[in-house]
Amino acid sequence: MPETFKPSELVDAQRRLSDYVLDQAHQIEQRLFFGWEPAYDAPEKYRELCEAFAVSHREGRPLPVSNENSSSVVFGSPDVNMAYRYVHDVAHVEQGLSFSSPDEFTLARWLMRRFERAGFSRDDLEWHLFEADAVGQVVFYAVTKQYVGDQLQFALDCVRHGLNTGIYLEMERQQ
């Protein structure tokens, strides 16, 4: 992956990534018969997520997903970021994976494999953006017990300099 890319290439990659995420979210919504809604009080613990999922499944109400930390995101807009959180949260429940760091890492790898099966590869800028968001943020949290502040800047640092350096740069920003 080149360390530099044109702004138009980033916009195109974000659009393709957003299209993928929205397609996945809508497929899940059609399969489960419930969607998602942004919420400041979304489940923060695995047990709470499982309970909210059960209520949504039983009553057809949208699953609450966190609307926090969505001002600067990889997916191009906060709305698509929340659709990704829906995909991610549903996968937690359906895969039986908790919020522990090992389970989060397993889930991130599972999401990456699905992304690759959809036709994306390491040659694609969007693959590297998604890896930074899915895998990089999990590793960052496991190391620091903090969430990434500026998700887009974090992803761009990871794309340009690799995950290790991207994580280190985010640690420096948060000191």
Q: Residue 21 domain-assigned?
A: yes
Q: CA–CA separation, 87 vs 28, rounded Å?
A: 7
For residue 3, the model assigns a pLDDT of 67
The per-residue pLDDT for range 100-118, each reduced to its tens digit, is 999 999 999 999 999 999 9
152 part of a folded domain = yes
1 pLDDT tier (thresholds 50, 70, 90):
low
| Residue 91: inside a domain | yes
pLDDT in tens, 19-46: 999 999 999 999 999 999 999 999 999 9
For residue 65, what are the β-bridge partners?
Answer: 38
Task: Specify if 2 maps to a domain.
Answer: no
Domain that holds residue 26: 7-173
Closest CA to 16 of 158, 113, 114, 130: 130
Instruction: Decide if 89 is inside a domain.
Output: yes
Residue 149 lies in a domain: yes
Grouping H, G, I as helix, E, B as strand and the rest as coil, residue 65 is strand
Tokens of 47: 């047990």
Q: How far apart are CA 175 and CA 173, in angstroms?
A: 6
Q: Is 156 inside a domain boundary?
A: yes
Number of domains comprising the chain? 1
Q: Is residue 69 part of a domain?
A: yes
